[in-house]
Structure 1
Amino acid sequence: MRTEHGHCFCGAIAATFTGDPFWICFDHDDDCRRAIGGPMTIWIGYSHDQVTFSRGQPQTFSKTRGVVRQFCGKCGTSIAYTDEGLPGEIYVCIGFMDAPERFPPQAHGFWRQRLPFIKMDDGLARVDAYTRRRTAPLGRPDL
């Protein structure tokens, strides 16, 4: 069974991920860009039962209704987010992973919100909103 590991910049938080992620996606929306502090990120989708924090516990913050972001309270590393509209799922920031090269994205989310100088010729689907079906109208960075 596939096992992956991740840790924050200072090492205070570490996690183990068991099994294959169900979704990997570039994200270009403004909410995530501000939260991450970069021009875009890649989110890796796991179910909650696939993730075990082996050292430390993330701090949480919520600005967007229904979305809770996790980060290291010591060094600020973005770790993951959960979304009430995607129950049972957790999306891990690729920068938290020990081997980010093992997580090739499958699509681009919020393509319309990408920064104008971002040019990508990867042939992946470009979606102007969420790339996953959500069950609640919460946390809409496109509105």
Structure 2
Amino acid sequence: MRIDHGHCFCGAIAATFTGEPFWVCYDHDDDCRRAIGGPLTIWIGYRPDQVLFDRGHPKTFTKTRGVIRSFCSNCGTSIGYVDAGLSDEVYICIGFMDAPERFPPEAHGYWRMRLPFIKIDDGLARTDTYTRKRDPKLGLPRERE
């Protein structure tokens, strides 16, 4: 069985991930960009029972209705998020992972929202909205504040 590990910059939070992730995707939307402080990110999708925090407890924050983000309260490392529109799914930021090279993305989400200087010619599928089927009642990130 595949086992992966991750930890924050200061090491206060560590986690173990068992099994294959079900989804790995580039994310170009402005909501996530602002939350993680980078031009884009890659989210790794797991089921909640695949994620075990071995050390420390992430702090959580919500600004976008239905989305709860987690991070290290010591160093600020983005850990992941859960979304009420995606039941039974946990997304982990690739920067939290000990071996990020093990998670090649499968697609691009919010392609039209990418920054104009981001040039990626990888042949992956590109969508202008979510890459996962979400509860439409929650709307797009911009509509959910």
- Shorter-chain TM-score tier: over 0.9
Q: Which residue of 1 aligns with 2:127?
A: 127
Q: Which residue of 2 aligns with 1:56?
A: 56
More helix, by proportion: 2
Root-mean-square deviation over aligned CA pairs: 1.0
> Secondary structure of the residue that 2:33 maps to in structure 1?
helix
The question of whether the paired residues in 2 share the 8 Å contact of 1:3 and 1:16 is answered with yes
Q: How many residues align?
A: 143
Task: Give the share of equivalent positions with the same residue, in percent.
Answer: 74
Task: Flag as ranges the 4+ runs of structure 1 deviating above 6 A.
Answer: none
Q: Which residue of 1 aligns with 2:84?
A: 84
The question of whether the paired residues in 1 share the 8 Å contact of 2:82 and 2:90 is answered with yes
Deviation string, structure 1 residues 11-64 (Cα, Å, up to 9, x no partner):
000000000000000000000000000000000000000000000010000000
Q: Which residue of 2 aligns with 1:75?
A: 75
> Secondary structure of the residue that 2:92 maps to in structure 1?
strand
Unpaired stretches in structure 1, ≥5 consecutive residues:
none
Give the TM-score normalised by structure 1.
0.97
Give the TM-score normalised by structure 2.
0.96
The question of whether the paired residues in 1 share the 8 Å contact of 2:16 and 2:51 is answered with yes
Cα separation, 2, equivalents of 1:140 and 1:13: 30
Amino acid at match of 1:95: G
Unpaired stretches in structure 2, ≥5 consecutive residues:
none
